[in-house]
Amino acid sequence: MGSIRLFIDEDSMDQRFIKSLEARGVDVTTVGKVRTLGFSDEEQLILATEQHRVLYTFNVGDFCQLHHKYLTEGWTHSGIIISSQDYSIGEQLRRVLKLIGNKSAEDMVNQLVFLSAYSGEP
C-alpha cells in the first residue's frame, strides 16, 4: 500500500508546517510549488487527484460540497483532509502524522477526513 502524499491548498500553505512535514519524510507539494495559485477549488482537487495526492485544506464548505458532488456524479478523487485553522502548526503536524500512520493512499480514495478525528496524543 502506498503512503499518503499531500497537496496543500492555498489557504493552508504555512511554510513552517510544510517544512515540518518534509523534515519528517512526508511527500508534500503546494499550489505555490505547482503554480496554481488562484485556481478554483475544483481545479485544485482535479490536479491533486491527477497527481495521486490527498488535498489538505481549511476550506470546509467548498470541499464538503465538492466531495458530495464527486460522490453523486460517480467521480473519484484521491482524498480530502480538512483541518481547523485553530490548530497550531505543531498540532496540525501531530494529527497529520497520526493520520498518515493509520491510513494508506488507497484508504483515502473518495474519503473526506476531518483532522479533528486524529488526536495529537499517542
Q: At the topology level of CATH, where does 6-117 sit?
A: Rossmann fold (3.40.50)
Cell numbers found for residue 17: 508546517
Q: What is the mean pLDDT of residues 66-85?
A: 97
The domain spans of the chain are 6-117
How far is Cα 118 from Cα 115, in angstroms, rounded to an integer?
Answer: 6
- Of 10, 26, 106, 73, the residue nearest 18 (C-alpha): 26
φ, ψ for residue 24, nearest 5 deg: -100, 15
Per-residue model confidence as pLDDT tens digits over 87-114: 999 999 999 999 999 999 999 999 999 9
Counting runs of H as helices and runs of E as strands, what totals does the chain give?
5, 5
| Whole-structure pTM value | 0.93
